[in-house]
């Protein structure tokens, strides 16, 4: 099945001085449950990160991962019980792995940035599990990750301080070691999806708008390979 993401990759405009028209950076966004295209807040984050990297002189392309991203609320959570949610995640994982492998073969020197929200964050984590890949993952942003693991060393946190030891609502999934130093884990104040035991579901929907700029700036710094402290991130 040819996806919209592969169509975007196939239509990349050649960049002067680069073999095969490969950009310096490719940003892949994975939307949350029930969303379309990039969805929010992934779309805003993709735009902001691309802006920082472009200003630094990097050529940047971006694409949305095409996968079901099945809604949880439309079925009042039934998809969590009947297996449809798990199948949606599995489809996303398979598609992202396929696209990453294809991109690695086609543009081996391109830095890849992965940005996922909610279900999309889970897709990214499961896709990265396993052995070290043959492509260049330069940055990962997990927004409202339902499989958040607060115990992993090396991961930069941007979160409600009271949720610092709380796992995601679907239980913790570990990131592979190579991804931890380049990952920012973002859990908004009161978000019950990424911090089990919280009860402010509205934070899951509206809690990420005000921190896009800060997280995007830090992500660009990670991709560029420099290191500085940003308030709220360690």
Domain of 213, CATH number, reads: 3.40.50.1820
**DSSP-H helix ranges across the chain:** 4-10, 42-55, 79-82, 84-106, 119-128, 201-206, 212-224
Q: Provide the b/e sequence for 140-149 (b: ≥16 CB within 10 Å).
A: bbbbbbbbbb
CA-to-CA separations, 144 to 28, 117, 233, in angstroms, rounded: 17, 6, 15
* Residue 199: pLDDT band with limits 50, 70, 90: low
In this structure, is residue 45 part of a structural domain?
A: yes
The region that residue 69 occupies, defined by phi over 0 for left and psi between -120 and 50 for alpha, beta otherwise, is left
In a domain, 202, yes or no: yes
CA–CA dist 139, 212 (Å, integer): 15
**Is 3 a residue whose pLDDT tops 80?**
no
Give yes or no for residue 156 having a pLDDT over 50: yes
Report the pLDDT value the prediction gives residue 141, as an integer from 0 to 100.
Answer: 97
Which DSSP category does 209 fall into?
Answer: G
The band of 163, judged by pLDDT with boundaries at 50, 70 and 90, is low
The Cβ of residue 138 has, within 10 Å, a number of other Cβ atoms equal to: 21
Classify residue 231: in a domain, yes or no: no
pLDDT average, residue stretch 92-119 = 94
Report how many domains make up the chain: 1
Model confidence at 193: pLDDT above 60: yes
Query: To the nearest whole percent, how much of the chain has pLDDT over 90?
Result: 56
Asked if residue 10 belongs to a domain, the reply is: no
Residue 11, domain member (yes or no): no
Beta bridge partners of 136: 111
Whether 13 is covered by a domain: the verdict is no
CA atoms of 196 and 169, how far apart (whole Å): 5
What are phi and psi for residue 64, nearest 5 degrees?
-95, 135
Highest mean pLDDT among 3-12, 92-101, 186-195: 92-101
Mean pLDDT of 69-84: 84
Reply yes or no on whether the pLDDT at 160 is more than 50: yes
pLDDT value at 61 more than 90? yes
19-52, pLDDT tens digit by residue?
A: 348 999 999 999 999 999 999 999 999 999 999 9
- Lowest mean pLDDT of 6-20, 62-76, 172-186, name the range: 6-20
Query: Residue 193 belongs to what domain range?
Result: 21-224
- Domain for residue 210, yes or no? yes
Q: In this structure, what is the dihedral angle of CA atoms 64, 69, 73, 74, given to the nearest 10 degrees?
A: 110
Predicted confidence band at 83 (pLDDT cuts at 50, 70, 90)? confident
Which of the 8 DSSP states describes residue 170?
A: T
Please indicate, yes or no, if residue 103 is contained in any of the structural domains.
yes
Nearest-Å Rg of the Cα atoms of the chain is: 17
Give the number of other CB atoms < 10 A from CB of residue 124: 28
């Amino acid at each position: 099945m040819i996806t919209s993401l592969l169509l975007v990759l196939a239509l990349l405009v050649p960049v002067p001085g680069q073999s095969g028209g490969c950009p310096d950076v490719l940003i892949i966004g994975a939307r949350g449950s029930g969303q379309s295209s990039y969805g929010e807040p992934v779309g805003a984050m993709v735009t902001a990160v691309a802006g920082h990297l472009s200003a630094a002189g990097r050529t940047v392309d971006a694409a949305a991962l095409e996968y079901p991203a099945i809604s949880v609320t439309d079925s009042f959570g039934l998809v969590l019980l009947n297996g449809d949610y798990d199948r949606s995640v599995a489809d996303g994982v398979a598609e992202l792995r396929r696209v990453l492998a294809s991109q690695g073969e086609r543009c081996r020197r391109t830095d890849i940035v992965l940005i996922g929200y909610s279900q999309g964050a889970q897709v990214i984590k499961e896709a990265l599990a396993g052995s070290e890949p043959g492509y260049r993952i330069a940055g990962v942003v997990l927004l409202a990750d339902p499989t958040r693991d607060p115990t992993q060393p090396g991961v930069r946190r941007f979160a409600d301080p009271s949720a610092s030891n709380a796992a995601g609502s679907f239980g913790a999934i570990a990131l592979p070691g190579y991804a931890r130093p380049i990952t920012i884990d973002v859990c908004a104040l009161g978000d019950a999806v990424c911090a089990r035991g919280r009860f402010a579901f509205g934070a899951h929907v509206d809690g990420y708008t005000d921190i896009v700029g800060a997280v995007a700036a830090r992500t660009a710094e990670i991709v560029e390979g420099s290191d500085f402290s940003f308030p709220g991130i360690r």
